[in-house]
Amino acid sequence: MKATTRLTLIASTLALTFAPALTACGTDAADAGAAPESAALGHVHGLALDAADERLYVATHHGLFTTGESGDPVRVGDRADDFMGFTVVGPKRFLASGHPAPGSGEPAHHGLIESTDAGKSWKTLSLGGEADFHALEHVHNTTYGYDSTKGMLRVSKDGKSWDDRARLQALDIAVSPNDPDTVLATTPDGIARSTDGGRTFRPGRKPAMAFLSWPAPDVLYGLDSRGGVHRSTDGGATWDKAGELPGAGSGVQALTAVDKRRVLAATADGVYESTDGAKSFAKLFDVDTGAGH
């Protein structure tokens, strides 16, 4: 059990969301059965599109997956690692964190790893064996990561040296597209806001969200623990409900807004896409909860 799972979770509307997301991170013997190269996805930790070809990539408990020729998900490369934080930085360039596959002999925490060939191979950039980033954002030529081993926001300009910032209990982070000092974090108390680059945060305020995604200065999306997708046009000061994510009764797992209208999200039931600003969703892939643990 990792450090994050030992944090005391206070009663809140996020309690059911935080617990599965935290305990899904593990590399013990119970995880020894890796998913096959082509299979229903297990627990989803991240969603992103490669800027090179708009291909969807899904970071999971048993590797990184993308769409195969048949339309079914296929694993990228030969690594069945537990990918936690995951983000696309540029064409075929990905950043991630997490844990190696069981039996690899590698340190338990990847730190920050980088791929420059769309996930086929990876190298360690920094903090190998030390950090486990459960959330990663790369904006303003800067990487923001929530390190679950320390319960801390960490920020880097080059992916190698890091500035340790505020300690807080968070599940996800989002950074304003037009202000590198405005950082939001989803906490059990609600959305916490920083206006100094994550050095300090004001206490969380309702509404409580599990995940956030900020694709444009005037559009911020939030996903609550019941599957409600919410939209803010003023940086999170006020919110309107945009729609409902199907299958959310099984638990929400990830959210990425590609732009103002295109939204990707995952539950324990499936990976979904909306092209109308979260008013409606279509299922892209099934998710098999049995394969995610």
Per-residue pLDDT 10s for the chain (293 aa) are 333 333 333 233 344 344 444 444 544 333 333 444 545 588 999 999 999 999 999 999 999 999 988 889 999 988 899 999 999 999 999 999 999 998 888 999 999 999 999 999 999 999 999 999 999 999 999 999 999 999 999 999 999 999 999 999 999 999 999 999 999 999 999 999 999 999 999 999 999 999 999 999 999 999 999 999 999 999 999 999 999 999 898 899 999 999 999 999 999 999 999 999 999 999 999 998 665 44
What DSSP element (H or E) covers 192? strand 190-194
Residue linked to tokens 């980088």 = 114
Query: What predicted TM-score, i.e. pTM, was given to this entire model?
Result: 0.88
Single-letter amino acid code for the residue at 213: S
| Closest by Cα among 144, 214, 135, 143 to 177 | 214
What is the structure's pLDDT at 5?
33
| Closest by Cα among 292, 291, 274, 230 to 283 | 274
* Gap between the Cα atoms of 62 and 43, Å rounded: 8
User: Which SS3 state, helix, strand or coil, does residue 226 take?
Assistant: coil
Can you say how many angstroms the Cα of residue 251 is from the centroid of all Cα atoms in its chain? 14
* Gap between the Cα atoms of 293 and 285, Å rounded: 18
What is the structure's pLDDT at 289?
63
* Gap between the Cα atoms of 260 and 263, Å rounded: 8
- Beta bridge partner(s), residue 60: 44, 63
* Gap between the Cα atoms of 77 and 228, Å rounded: 34
What is the structure's pLDDT at 25?
59
What is the structure's pLDDT at 40?
59
The set of residues, in sequence order, having a beta carbon less than 8 Å from that of 17 and lying 6+ positions away, is 171, 210, 225, 251, 252
* Gap between the Cα atoms of 237 and 69, Å rounded: 43
